[in-house]
Structure 1
């Protein structure tokens, strides 16, 4: 049995998404994983879940540097979704860049739980489990 019912990866790096999905399944982190290649596809699809009254993913792994709509623009739009509809969701920024500026900017968003430097590891997932479940 998985720790989380549904998670979402929003990242244009297909290799990262593939490896993250595999790691999530291998570790029992999550079975149902949605993947989107950019912020536009991600926000459109997630809003579609709300319209269809489908439960929202509990965890979103969000890259910052993507085509069409980057992670920052995604966060701005996501921030407009009524809080009651996303109250059980936390976003984790996943980036290859260790940037104090980006880390500080990410903390300004209440929905952002943490900033994870790629690659994603089993330890990263354990940190998410601990912070989300209050273990």
Structure 2
């Protein structure tokens, strides 16, 4: 699956987006993850599902493409990750190229894992606490695959 980015155009090589209400985890994500990506990549964080939808819709209105990798926490107030996934599903149905979406959660229940597996565009389920070195290697691998895929 192609990231939809074209060499030579302005914009990040890879855009990684975390949607999580845990400000400490988001802070660490923004400080640690960029070191595993190219200098032209970007890491965004949104603290709620509703904030993320507004930003996604703004990207679409500006024809700015979509993020390459999205990490979503499922346990958030106001709009939880499941509600966000349902909203993204509606938006993704209209697109030929969609981001790779990953659940990143402290929930270890099999019910949540099965529910995530039922969402067609969710690629994997990552459990917190994370091993930052392992997560960065994993993100670098996925990002590289997105850039190199035709």
TM over 0.5: yes
| Structure with more relative contact order (C-alpha pairs < 8 Å, separation 6 or more) | 2
Q: Separation in 1 of the partners of 2:75 and 2:49?
A: 9
Aligned to 1:21: 30
- Residue 122 (structure 1) aligns with: 133
TM-score (norm 2): 0.78
Structure 2: runs of 5+ lacking an equivalent = 1-12
* Separation of aligned partners in 1, 2:93 and 2:139: 21
Q: CA RMSD in A?
A: 2.3
Match of 1:51 among 43, 47, 61: 61
Where has structure 1 moved over 4 Å in runs of 4 or more? none
TM-score, with structure 1 as normaliser? 0.86
CA contact (8 A) 2:92 2:98 kept: no
Q: Identify if the C-alpha distance between structure 1 residues 70 and 113 changes in structure 2 by more than 3 Å, giving closer, same or farther.
A: same
The answer as to whether partners of 2:102 and 2:122 remain within 8 angstroms in 1 is: yes
Say if 2:10 is the partner of 1:10: no
Q: Check the 8 A contact 2:36/2:137 in 1, yes or no.
A: no
CA shift for structure 1 position 124: 2.2
> Aligned partners of 1:96, 1:129: CA distance in 2, in Å?
22
Is there any run of 5+ residues in structure 1 with no aligned partner, and where? Answer: none
Number of residue pairs matched by the alignment: 133
Higher strand share: 1
